[in-house]
Structures are given as C-alpha cells and as structure tokens.
C-alpha cells in the first residue's frame, strides 16, 4: 500500500541545501508580490477582524530565505493597508506560523530568521493536508511551490495488479491515461482536504494566496517544463537500471508524488487571479534545485551511494535537452474564506456560491451568491461620488422575500441591469443585519458582480460586470441551472398586493400593475413615464382647492434648492419676471431660470387688482355664465347639441368642478374636447347590437376625465344613426380626425373641436366616482 510521504527539502546551508538552491522558486515569489499587494488591498477586510494580532501562515515553508521573503511581502502589504486606513502600522501585531513536515529542518529555519523581522515566529510541524490550527484562527494563508506535492503516490500506480500500474516509469506525464487519472484524482483529493482544513481554520473574510507550479489550460502534461525534468530523472534512473546500478523492481516501485495542475483544474477551487510568470532557468540551476528538493526521496528509495552518479547524469541530460528549457508556468491562486457554511466537507470545490437561504443565515460573513433579479431599484447618487442601487435576488432555496443587496459604488461601476428576471452573480457580499432585517452589502472595495440575461438566453457570458470580475468556467453551470429553474418559476404575490390606479390614496405606498404608454424624455435628466391600467384615478385632494376656472399653471425649477422656494408663499399674488414657458410632456408649464425674478407686489398693486376684477366678472357673467368656460373652449355649435329642456339655466362648469365635486350623484354641463374613444372602430359603436358602452376621454384646460356612453344615451349621442359610415363620420368630427376624399385618415394629428356635453356623476360598485354622458347629440355630418 502506498504510504503518505513527507519528503522535505535539504536543510542546512551546504552546497545542495534548499536555502542555496531555491532562487528559481524565489522568482515566482517576487512575481506574486504585486498580486499579494493587490489582494490585501482589495480583498482583505482587515477592519472586520476582531483579534488584536494578525495571524499569517506559510504552508510548506521549507527553510529560508524564500519563506522570509514571501512573509515580508505579506507584512509589507498589510502595513501599507493599515497606514492607508489611517492606522499606525507600528501598532499592528503579527504572528507568522511557519509550517512544513515535522522532518523539515526547523532548526535551520529558526536560526536564519531575519533579525529585523516585525513579527513573532512560530513553527507548526505537520501536513498541510490536515488540520494544523484551531478554528477561525488564521487571517492570511500563504503557500508557494508546495501544493504540487501530493500527500502520497496514488495507490493504483504502485499496484502491480492495477491497470494503472506505472511500470518502467516514475511519473505520470508520459504514462497511460489510467496513470494520469490516478494522479489527477489524488491531487483533487489532496486539495479538497487542504482547503477543507483551511476553511475551518481561517476567519471569515481571511485570505488565501497560493503560488503553485502548474500548466496553462490545454497544454498537455508532456509539455510542461517541470514534468519534462521529472521525465529526465526517470530516464536517468532507467539508464542506471540498465547498467544494473539499481534493480528494475526498485525502479518499478518508485513514483514521484508531484502533480502539475492546469488552470482549469485549479479554477474548480477558486481563482482570483491567474498569473503566468516565465522563467528561462539554466540546466545546472535546475539540477541543484532538484537535488536540494528531492535528494531525501531518492536516498530513501535507492540508497546514498547512487546519489552523486544520479544527479550528475541528470545534469548532463538537462544540458543536452534544450527543449525542456521552456518557460515554467506558475499559477497564483487567491481565495477568500466566504462563509461558515459553504466550505466543502471532503474534497470538491472550495469555491462555490452560497445559496440565498444560507447567505441569510451568515450574518457577519462574506458570501458569493448567484440569483435572479426579482426587483431592481433605479440607481441614484449617494454620498460623495458614490452611486446607490438596491436589487432583490432569489434562487430556488429562497423565493420570498429573497435577499436585498445594497450596492454602493462608483457611477460607472454601478450594475446596469437591463431587465428584472436577469441573473446576477456577486462575489464577496457582506451579510448584515439591520434592525430585524438581513441584507447584503456590496462594497466597491472588494465585491464584484456580473449580470447575465435571464431564462431565455443562451449566452454564458455576462453582459455587464465589474472591472475586477473574472469569468470562471464553473460559474456557468450555476447559471445554466438557475435559468432552468427560472423557466418554470412563478412568483406568488398575495392577491391584494397590487392595487389599481383607481385605488390610489395620497400618502400611501402602493404597488401597481400598469402599462407604460409613453416615456417622455426631456432635456438633461428630465423624463416622465405615462402609465395606464385601464382604471381612473380618484381626484387628488389638492384638486379640491384649485379654482375651477382658469388654468392652473405648473411652475418648476430644475436647479433651485427647495429652500429658496420660501420666497413663494401659498395664497399670495406675486409678479414673476422672465419665466420660461414650454410644453412639457404635452402640458404647459413654466420654468424658473437663472434670470427669473420675483418683483415687488404691494397689497394694492394695480395689476393684481385688475386680474381679480376680471376673474370675478368672468364668474359673474349672466345669464348663461358662458364666461365660466375655458377661454379657449368656445363650443363649436355645429358639433353637438345638449338637451336643455330640463335645465336650460344650467351654467357651464369645468371638468375641475366635476372631479372636485363631493356631491354624488350630480349633473354638470361642460365644454370639453373629446380626445380619445374606446373602442375606436365605429363598427363597434353600434347600439344596441354593438357593445353597450363607449368610453370617451374628455379634457378641458383644468382636468381630464373618462366618461361613458351607455345604451340609449349612446343611441341619442349618435342621433340614432346605425350605419358604420355615418358613425365614422360623427366620430371623426368629434375627435378632430382629418380624412381625405376616400375617407382615409391622412394626417395623424388631430384637433378635436370644443363641444358641449351633459355629464352625470355616479358612484361605481367600489364607491368611486364614475361619469356618464347623457342628453347630448352629435349633430355634425
Ligand atoms: C519546493 S518547497 C517550497 C518551499 C518554499 N515555500 C518556497 O517557495 O521556496 C516545498 C515544501 O513543501 C513542503 N511540503 C510538501 N508537502 C507538504 C505537506 N503535506 N505539508 C507540509 N509541507 C509540505 C516540503 O517539505 C517542502 O519544504
């Protein structure tokens, strides 16, 4: 049975010591420095750690000086981060745990510790494939050039009865598929154990950074420098077996427990940053490097006596094989601990998404989640240069209410969600409790997002993502699963959750199902959406106070602080100079510009008194009080006739009188324009054979309402006409439709005439006002 191996590097400081033969690995450590800086700055949430000392470990540290350099890089990055946060970095207490197998030369390590170090040093003997530290203990886990070491040679490759028996070879890279698979499986298992152990030991928000020799995706094992070198070792041993220096049996039972993972393989763990560092090492450097690292392994298996001959022949082979001197690839892995709950319990992916149900239970932790956008707010400016937007996301584990994510970030880093129902993934969201609600906070410092189209889409790439987001292959499976789930998902809102426009009440939040009829986009950021749900809004309270005659003009200011509006006092007459008038979203309004002034208006101002007098005269006009009609709305006598037999002295009232009247039922004679009819087709107007009601939209300068024509009122309205042609002509007159000689509308613009109508207000079944037209006849045509 293959046993666990613990081959350590050569200790001491002799010719073949690791300390004198590890410049090659040091290059990778130097190359990783920038990445460590970046990761510490962007991803390590130092403020959230409660302990006073910061605890770092270097797994598989061997002996110096590489480990000291690597640790110093981490210490420097941390100190800089503390300083940048306004803290005194001198107060930062650091403890570094140097880990390696117990057989590592810890004496040499401690003897050569840098004298000027700013940390407490501790040795931790044992395999990094199992637990080494207490729970929630470490803040930063680092390892370089050690995770390629397997915990043991895969059992099958040394088993003479197994199809994976690696006869005549000492490594997998040039071997049969079964051998490669056995190594691959051992690596996955070991990494699973390592990450599972660290997941327990590292605090939430802590960081792991691994530099491992590896191979780029798609590059076969045979092409990797490290593997080629090991194959040369194999060929040296084969030569020695042929010469009888070592036995064939000894050779067959010897295998090297190393594995060069590809980026794809390590992606299944978690890759913050993939980085390729390239080296062009010299042959003799490689040979001594290998000797410093592997001598123990060869000594144990083949004995002391072959060592010099073996390493000498290896150096020669390396010199002859210029093809192996290709750049070596190292992969840098960065990973945060995300939650308490989502760490694998034995192998498998360390880096997964947390289900929303579990995320909600992880207050205080950082999580990665992927979910469907159920609700999305409109981005707004928040503090300073930040923007804020809130989204609510769900997945199959938590559909109601889901998880609210509050996003504070720079404007151009704000997620641009194109549709609710799209899918969004977040990394490193902080789960927080606010009063009795749990939500997630997206930090521009360390969180990332990526947004994908919803259930009908095929693309597996995000359509918008934060700058630092990196796509990973295994995310795609989550996306596919979520889309599949979403296809059959229906959100169950309570029956009364949404109201209709008819049920609106001032000062209350309400939820509306409506159709967007038109979006008016003005200059700058001004816009207005016109929405519709087929019901009529009740008159707003404020309308009750508006004068019924004379247009109430809206005056706005786009850039005036509200505070400055104190100059305008309700109930006072004022003189405004240099107002800008415009038609906005189809309605008149005035805008206060930088040139607008408020002019002194004394109590007895002549013009003010004149306006009042004219208004009172208008109201007092007799006998018909025709002046109470809007000025622009003098009725066209050729279009309608109203039945005055009941009440020929009725005065004309405006639609504002109608909607603001609290008297129900009541009758009103009005002058209005008919701006819409539903149904529109005259063929549908037929009474009594057609539908039994037509809805007309009426407006005057004060208000706009819907009024209905029912059965006999409709018959009278259309003067008893029943042919479609005749009804069409009347409709066209009434609604100002212009037609050519063939009866075809040739101009989309309409100009409805002002017409007289009788209106009756009633209450509908819900107790809301409802208006009907009666006693009115279209006489035109
Ligand atoms: C190539 S050396 C790298 C040393 C150093 N980190 C560097 O970058 O120069 C690999 C080290 O990992 C250690 N190692 C391998 N497997 C280990 C394990 N399971 N637990 C602890 N240390 C291990 C070896 O003993 C060796 O010291």
Least confident of 266-270, 289-293, 542-546: 289-293
Which position has the higher pLDDT, 484 or 207? 484
Q: Sorting pLDDT into bands at 50, 70 and 90, what band is 233?
A: confident
Q: Sorting pLDDT into bands at 50, 70 and 90, what band is 594?
A: confident
CA of 663 to the centre of ligand 1 (A): 90
**Is residue 464 over pLDDT 60?**
yes
DSSP class of residue 452 equals: E
Q: Which residues 6+ apart lie within 8 Å of 162 measured at CB?
A: 155, 156, 178
For the chain, percent of residues with pLDDT exceeding 90:
17
Nearest CA to ligand 1 atom 23: 60
Evaluate: CB of 17 within 6 angstroms of ligand 1: no
Evaluate: CB of 536 within 6 angstroms of ligand 1: no
Which among 340, 366, 362, 336 has a CA at the least distance from the CA of 351?
A: 336
Evaluate: CB of 654 within 6 angstroms of ligand 1: no
CA of 145 to the centre of ligand 1 (A): 7
CA of 174 to the centre of ligand 1 (A): 25
CA of 60 to the centre of ligand 1 (A): 3
CA of 141 to the centre of ligand 1 (A): 14
Per-residue pLDDT at 612? 82
CA of 623 to the centre of ligand 1 (A): 107
Evaluate: CB of 448 within 6 angstroms of ligand 1: no
- The answer to whether residues 389 and 405 touch, using CB atoms and an 8 Å cutoff, is no
Average pLDDT, the chain: 78
Evaluate: CB of 293 within 6 angstroms of ligand 1: yes
CA of 654 to the centre of ligand 1 (A): 90
7 CA: nearest ligand 1 atom:
25
Per-residue pLDDT at 285? 37
Per-residue pLDDT at 540? 61
Nearest CA to ligand 1 atom 8: 144
190 CA: nearest ligand 1 atom:
19
103 CA: nearest ligand 1 atom:
25
Question: In order of start, what are the domains of the chain with their CATH numbers?
Answer: 18-215+256-279+326-334 (3.40.50.150), 353-487 (2.40.50.140), 517-604 (no CATH), 630-778 (2.40.50.140)
CA of 133 to the centre of ligand 1 (A): 17
Per-residue pLDDT at 635? 63
Nearest CA to ligand 1 atom 16: 149
CA 340/CA 334 separation, integer angstroms: 18
Q: Which residues 6+ apart lie within 8 Å of 177 measured at CB?
A: none
DSSP class of residue 651 equals: P
307-320 and 283-302 are packed helices; what angle lies between their axes, rounded to 10 degrees? 150
CA of 307 to the centre of ligand 1 (A): 21
Q: Sorting pLDDT into bands at 50, 70 and 90, what band is 688?
A: low
Evaluate: CB of 101 within 6 angstroms of ligand 1: yes
Evaluate: CB of 57 within 6 angstroms of ligand 1: no
Strands (E) across 115-234 are located at 120-125, 138-144, 202-213
CA 221/CA 214 separation, integer angstroms: 10
CA of 28 to the centre of ligand 1 (A): 14
Evaluate: CB of 292 within 6 angstroms of ligand 1: no
In testing the pocket of ligand 1, which one of 60, 210, 256 has its CB within 8 Å of the most ligand atoms?
60
104 CA: nearest ligand 1 atom:
25
CA 390/CA 408 separation, integer angstroms: 9
> In 149-224, where does DSSP find H-type helix?
177-201
CA of 123 to the centre of ligand 1 (A): 13
CA 472/CA 273 separation, integer angstroms: 11
Evaluate: CB of 60 within 6 angstroms of ligand 1: yes
CA of 176 to the centre of ligand 1 (A): 28
Average pLDDT over residues 18-25: 53
Q: Sorting pLDDT into bands at 50, 70 and 90, what band is 284?
A: very low
Maximum CA pair distance of the chain?
Answer: 133
Which position has the higher pLDDT, 127 or 275? 127
Per-residue pLDDT at 274? 32
**CA 727 to chain CA centroid, nearest Å:** 55
Evaluate: CB of 106 within 6 angstroms of ligand 1: no
Evaluate: CB of 128 within 6 angstroms of ligand 1: yes
- The angle subtended at Cα 106 by Cα 102 and Cα 111, nearest 5°, is 175
**Is residue 126 over pLDDT 90?**
yes
CB atoms within 10 A of CB 479: 20
CB atoms within 10 A of CB 460: 15
Evaluate: CB of 288 within 6 angstroms of ligand 1: no
**Is residue 654 over pLDDT 70?**
yes
Evaluate: CB of 360 within 6 angstroms of ligand 1: no
Tokens linked to 726 = 């005749």
Gyration radius from the chain CA atoms: 41
**Is residue 449 over pLDDT 50?**
yes
62 CA: nearest ligand 1 atom:
27
Quickly list DSSP for 550-572. S---EEE-SS--GGGGGGS-TT-
Q: Sorting pLDDT into bands at 50, 70 and 90, what band is 479?
A: very high
Nearest CA to ligand 1 atom 13: 60
Evaluate: CB of 206 within 6 angstroms of ligand 1: no
CA 348/CA 192 separation, integer angstroms: 6
Evaluate: CB of 73 within 6 angstroms of ligand 1: no
In testing the pocket of ligand 1, which one of 6, 68, 149 has its CB within 8 Å of the most ligand atoms?
149
Which position has the higher pLDDT, 262 or 668? 668
**CA 120 to chain CA centroid, nearest Å:** 41
CA of 347 to the centre of ligand 1 (A): 21
CA of 62 to the centre of ligand 1 (A): 5
Q: Could you identify the residue written with the tokens 């210029």?
A: 322
Which position has the higher pLDDT, 427 or 711? 427
Q: What is the pLDDT of residues 320-365, one digit of tens each?
A: 654 433 333 444 444 444 433 333 222 223 346 889 998 998 888 8
> In 104-155, where does DSSP find H-type helix?
106-111
Least confident of 66-70, 586-590, 645-649, 757-761: 645-649
CA of 772 to the centre of ligand 1 (A): 89
Least confident of 147-151, 372-376, 495-499, 616-620: 616-620
CA of 71 to the centre of ligand 1 (A): 15
Nearest CA to ligand 1 atom 25: 8
Evaluate: CB of 61 within 6 angstroms of ligand 1: yes
Which position has the higher pLDDT, 268 or 677? 677
CA 472/CA 462 separation, integer angstroms: 11
Per-residue pLDDT at 686? 63
Q: Sorting pLDDT into bands at 50, 70 and 90, what band is 775?
A: very high
Evaluate: CB of 148 within 6 angstroms of ligand 1: no
For the chain, percent of residues with pLDDT exceeding 70:
76
Least confident of 109-113, 114-118, 657-661: 657-661
Evaluate: CB of 67 within 6 angstroms of ligand 1: yes
């Amino acid at each position: 049975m293959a046993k666990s191996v613990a081959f350590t590097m050569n200790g001491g400081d002799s010719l073949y010591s690791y300390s004198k033969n590890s410049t090659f690995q040091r290059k990778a450590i130097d190359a990783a420095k920038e990445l460590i800086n970046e990761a510490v700055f962007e991803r390590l949430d130092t403020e959230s750690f409660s302990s006073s000392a910061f605890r770092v470990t270097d797994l598989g540290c061997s002996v110096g000086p590489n480990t000291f350099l690597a640790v110093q890089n981490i210490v420097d990055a941390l100190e800089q981060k503390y300083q940048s946060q306004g803290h005194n970095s001198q107060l930062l207490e650091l403890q570094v745990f140097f880990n390696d197998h117990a057989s590592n030369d810890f004496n040499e390590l401690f003897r050569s510790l840098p004298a000027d170090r700013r940390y407490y040093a501790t040795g931790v003997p044992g395999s990094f494939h199992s637990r080494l530290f207490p729970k929630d203990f470490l803040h930063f886990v680092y390892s370089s050039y050690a995770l390629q070491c397997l915990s043991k040679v895969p059992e099958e490759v040394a088993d003479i009865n197994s199809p994976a028996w690696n006869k005549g070879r000492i490594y997998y890279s040039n071997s049969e598929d079964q051998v490669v698979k056995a190594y691959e499986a051992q690596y996955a298992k070991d990494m699973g154990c390592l990450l599972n152990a660290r997941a327990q030991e590292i605090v939430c928000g802590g960081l792991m950074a691994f530099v491992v020799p590896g191979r780029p995706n798609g590059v076969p094992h045979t092409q990797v420098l490290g593997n080629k070198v090991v194959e040369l070792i194999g060929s040296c041993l084969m030569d020695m077996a042929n010469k009888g220096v070592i036995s064939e049996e000894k050779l067959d039972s010897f295998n090297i427990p190393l594995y060069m993972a590809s980026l794809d393989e390590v992606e299944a763990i978690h890759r913050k940053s993939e980085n390729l560092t390239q080296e062009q090492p010299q042959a003799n450097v490689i040979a001594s490097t290998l000797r410093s690292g592997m001598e123990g392994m060869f000594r144990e298996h083949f004995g002391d006596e072959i060592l010099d001959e073996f390493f000498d022949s290896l150096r020669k082979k390396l010199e002859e094989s210029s093809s192996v001197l290709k750049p070596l690839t190292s992969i840098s892995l960065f990973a945060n601990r995300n939650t308490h709950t989502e760490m694998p319990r034995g192998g498998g992916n360390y880096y997964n998404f947390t289900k929303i149900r579990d995320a909600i239970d992880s207050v205080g932790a950082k999580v990665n989640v992927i979910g469907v956008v159920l609700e999305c707010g409109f981005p707004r400016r928040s503090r300073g240069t930040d923007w804020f937007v809130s989204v609510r996301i769900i997945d199959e584990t938590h559909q109601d209410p889901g998880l609210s994510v509050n996003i504070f970030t720079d404007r151009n880093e704000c997620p641009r969600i194109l549709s609710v129902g799209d899918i969004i993934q977040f990394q490193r969201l902080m789960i927080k409790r606010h009063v009795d609600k749990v939500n997630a906070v997206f930090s521009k410092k360390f969180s990332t997002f990526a947004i994908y189209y919803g259930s009908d889409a095929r693309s597996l790439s995000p359509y918008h993502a934060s700058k630092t987001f990196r796509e990973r292959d295994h995310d795609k499976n989550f996306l596919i699963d979520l889309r599949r789930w979403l296809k059959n998902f229906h959100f169950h809102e309570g029956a009364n959750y949404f109201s209709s426009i008819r049920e609106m009440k001032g000062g209350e939040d309400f939820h509306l199902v409506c159709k967007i009829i038109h979006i008016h986009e003005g200059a700058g950021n001004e816009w207005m959406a016109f929405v519709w749900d087929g019901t009529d809004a009740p008159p707003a309270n404020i309308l009750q106070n508006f004068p019924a005659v004379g247009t109430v003009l809206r005056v706005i200011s786009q850039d005036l602080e509200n505070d400055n509006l104190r100059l305008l006092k309700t109930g006072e007459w004022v003189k405004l100079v240099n107002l800008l008038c415009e038609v906005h979203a189809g309605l008149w309004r005035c805008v206060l510009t930088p040139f607008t002034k408020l002019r002194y208006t004394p109590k007895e101002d002549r013009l003010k008194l004149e306006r009042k007098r004219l208004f009172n005269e208008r109201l007092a006009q007799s006998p018909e009080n025709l002046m109470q009609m809007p000025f622009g709305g003098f009725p066209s006598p050729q279009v309608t006739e109203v039945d005055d037999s009941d009440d020929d002295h009725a005065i004309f009232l405006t639609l504002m009188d109608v909607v603001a009247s609290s008297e129900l039922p009541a009758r009103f004679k009005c002058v209005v324009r008919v701006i819409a009819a539903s149904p529109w087709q005259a063929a549908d107007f037929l009474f009594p054979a057609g539908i039994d009601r037509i809805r007309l939209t009426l407006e005057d300068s004060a208000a706009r309402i819907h009024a209905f024509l029912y059965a006999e009122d409709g018959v009278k309205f259309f003067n008893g006409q029943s042919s479609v042609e005749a009804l069409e002509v009347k409709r066209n007159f009434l609604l100002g439709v212009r037609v050519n000689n063939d009866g075809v509308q040739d101009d989309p613009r309409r100009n409805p005439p002002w017409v007289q109508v009788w209106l009756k207000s009633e209450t509908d079944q819900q107790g809301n006002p409802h208006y009907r037209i009666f006693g009115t006849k279209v006489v035109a045509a």
